[in-house]
Chain A
Amino acid sequence: MSRVELLSVHNYRSDGRRPKELRDISLSLGTHGHADGSALVSHGLTNVLVTVHGPREAKSRANTLFDRAVLSVNVDIPVFSGGQGGKRGRSDKRVLEFTSAIRQTFEPIVQTQLYPRSQIDIFVQVLQQDGGLLQTSINACTLALIDAGIPLTDYVCAITCALHDSTPLLDITSLEESDLPNLTAAVLPKSGKITLLTLETRIHVDRFEEMFTLAEDAGKVVHGEMLRAVTTRTERLVRAMEKGGVQDHSRTGIERPSARRAEMDIDMDDV
């Protein structure tokens, strides 16, 4: 097996990045027509689509809580997304862990107490993976929840960091992920605190702190990008509303086909 040099002597990584350089981030909101909120996020070649439905009435009454909304997370990691080890079913332990990590991250962030007896569905569709899957999914979930207009206490910005000898590498690819000890951290930029932190394989405790603080700073950079994406999207919506095209008919329950079409047209032009 040929070994790829993960960090060259000139301090370049296998994909030509510097150790602390992030991959291209693309964040688009409201990509999905039917959902209440959706986001398509990619970090380099890792690509995740998240749609949010709700808050809405739960399918089964047994799963509701009387004082807050229930988050239900569904993750689909298809074979074509290019992960290792072939098909991952819904009952695969890794998928279950991934799902519960996302749910537990967002449960304290989403203001669920505002929607008692209801359910918020989050569907995570992985389209392509190249390392940092949890990171991309969490960022996508944050944006999709914002797009759905669900109140959150803060953004959740996730980032990965690996350690090569003594150099921390940010935003890792799958090549780096499989060979190096790495961590995923989800940062709340407003308070600077960490909600999710997972670390795999051995590193010395002293090195950990360095990696960890670096990841925290990088999380804030990701936050800047997310903020910009949300602002751009909102500005666009406001512009569309000023044109007078968007009207909310969902509350009255009466749907006028012509008005509906007009709204769609504006969406198509502006988004």
Chain B
Amino acid sequence: MPRELEPAIAQREFVLAALKQGLRTDGRALLESRKPELVFGEELGMVECKLGKTRVFANVSATIVRPRQDRPYEGLLTISSEISPMASSVYEAGRASDEEVAITRMLEKVIKRSGAVDLESLCILAGQRVWHIRLTLHFLSDEGNMLDCACLAGITALRHFRRPEVEVIGEEVIVHSPEERAPMVLSMHHTPICITFALFEDSSSPVLDPLHLESQLATTTVHLALNAQKELCVMHKAGGMPLSVEEIMKCVKIGVERVREVSKMVNEALEEDWKGRVVEIR
């Protein structure tokens, strides 16, 4: 496995010295995030999220399957998030790097464990037929903070997606095509949004939305997932530089503010896109 090159000494010193003065290489303030840009595809459930040069494409599809034996009333949600060498040459196909494991597990916790999608509403016929929602993420380019980008793309795609309406008559299931009946939105409990901070040895404040170079140089990173209801869904800080309680609480407070802005933006983007779509109901 090729190990990623460490940043050059001059580069490291420049970035760290600039951060000490509260400056970042791309001109942002320490607590300023890149503006996420959501591009909706032709089909429902296709979303590309751009965070500067970081790009993640999310696609949602649904099929009808038999439910799990132990959970006859629940639909299934699977997230596939393999990072291909397309994103960056350090990722190898078919071999999970540390980064990939971290991203996959975080997405699973943020989207699945926190119960963002109402799985019980995906049940068609108890014990026999349920919807299987598949969220596929394609990591197109890595310029830092792929997790936040992927999470935003995934959550937006799930909210953008519409599944065909089904009708149950006795034991028979009829799936109506979109031309016949308006497809239905997935029922969601909440919209978790992921926020990443990078922390440096002697920088006064945490750095929001780190670039690739910044996350390489950071002494530790903190991932938070919050929703607009001020609920903390997932928090993850594995090792690295130890932090005091105040520092962690500071990150949480900043996260709360930031999430409010992002969820507002997502809602607006979804509304905007929905206006432009013609859905025929006959």
A105 pairs with B232, CB closer than 8 A: no
- Known interface pairs A194-B248, A199-B232, A204-B232. Does A93 touch B237 (Cβ–Cβ under 8 Å)? no
A115 lies within 8 A of chain B by Cβ: no
Give A206 to B234 CA distance when docked, in angstroms.
15
Select which of A94, A104, A205, A216 is within 8 A of B240 by beta carbon: A104
Chain A residues with CB under 8 A of B27? none
B101 pairs with A105, CB closer than 8 A: no
Select which of B109, B230, B239, B249 is within 8 A of A204 by beta carbon: B230
The B-contacting residues of A in range 204-241, CB under 8 angstroms, are 204-206, 208-209, 212-213, 216
Give A198 to B223 CA distance when docked, in angstroms.
9
Chain A residues with CB under 8 A of B219? 108
Give A91 to B96 CA distance when docked, in angstroms.
9
Give A13 to B165 CA distance when docked, in angstroms.
45
Chain A residues with CB under 8 A of B233? 201-202
Chain B residues with CB under 8 A of A201? 113-115, 233-234
B239 pairs with A108, CB closer than 8 A: yes
B242 pairs with A193, CB closer than 8 A: yes
Select which of A107, A194, A203 is within 8 A of B244 by beta carbon: A194
B245 pairs with A213, CB closer than 8 A: yes
The B-contacting residues of A in range 101-150, CB under 8 angstroms, are 101, 103-108
Q: How many pairs of residues, A versus B, come closer than 8 Å at their CB atoms?
A: 104
Give A194 to B219 CA distance when docked, in angstroms.
14
B239 pairs with A101, CB closer than 8 A: yes
- Known interface pairs A100-B102, A205-B226, A205-B252. Does A200 touch B239 (Cβ–Cβ under 8 Å)? no
B241 pairs with A198, CB closer than 8 A: no
For B253, give the chain A residue with the smallest CB separation: A205
Chain A residues with CB under 8 A of B235? 183, 197-199, 208
Chain B residues with CB under 8 A of A103? 239
A203 pairs with B238, CB closer than 8 A: no
Chain A residues with CB under 8 A of B212? none
B114 pairs with A108, CB closer than 8 A: no
- Known interface pairs A93-B104, A100-B98. Does A108 touch B240 (Cβ–Cβ under 8 Å)? yes
Number of chain A residues whose Cβ lies closer than 8 Å to a Cβ of chain B: 36
- Say which size band chain B's interface belongs to: 35 or more
Chain A residues with CB under 8 A of B243? 193-194
B238 pairs with A196, CB closer than 8 A: yes
Q: How far is the CB of A240 from chain B (nearest CB, A)?
A: 35
Chain B residues with CB under 8 A of A2? none
A57 lies within 8 A of chain B by Cβ: no
Chain A residues with CB under 8 A of B230? 204-206
Give A100 to B231 CA distance when docked, in angstroms.
27
Give A197 to B26 CA distance when docked, in angstroms.
30
The A-contacting residues of B in range 229-267, CB under 8 angstroms, are 230-245, 248-249, 252, 256
For A207, give the chain B residue with the smallest CB separation: B232
B242 pairs with A104, CB closer than 8 A: no
A31 lies within 8 A of chain B by Cβ: no
For B116, give the chain A residue with the smallest CB separation: A202
- Known interface pairs A104-B239, A195-B242, A201-B115. Does A96 touch B231 (Cβ–Cβ under 8 Å)? no
Chain A residues with CB under 8 A of B96? 91, 93, 96
The B-contacting residues of A in range 62-87, CB under 8 angstroms, are none
A200 pairs with B256, CB closer than 8 A: no
Chain A residues with CB under 8 A of B236? 197-199
A97 lies within 8 A of chain B by Cβ: yes
B105 lies within 8 A of chain A by Cβ: yes
A188 lies within 8 A of chain B by Cβ: yes
Q: How far is the CB of B97 from chain A (nearest CB, A)?
A: 10
Chain B residues with CB under 8 A of A216? 245
Binding site for B on A (CB under 8 A): 91, 93-94, 96-97, 100-101, 103-108, 183, 188, 191-206, 208-209, 212-213, 216
A sample of 9 inter-chain contacts (CB < 8 A) reads A96-B101, A100-B101, A104-B238, A194-B245, A195-B237, A196-B239, A197-B248, A201-B113, A209-B249
3 nearest CB pairs, A to B: A104-B239, A193-B242, A199-B235
* Further contacts, 7 of them, CB under 8 A, given A202-B231, A204-B232: A195-B242, A198-B236, A199-B236, A204-B230, A205-B252, A205-B256, A209-B249
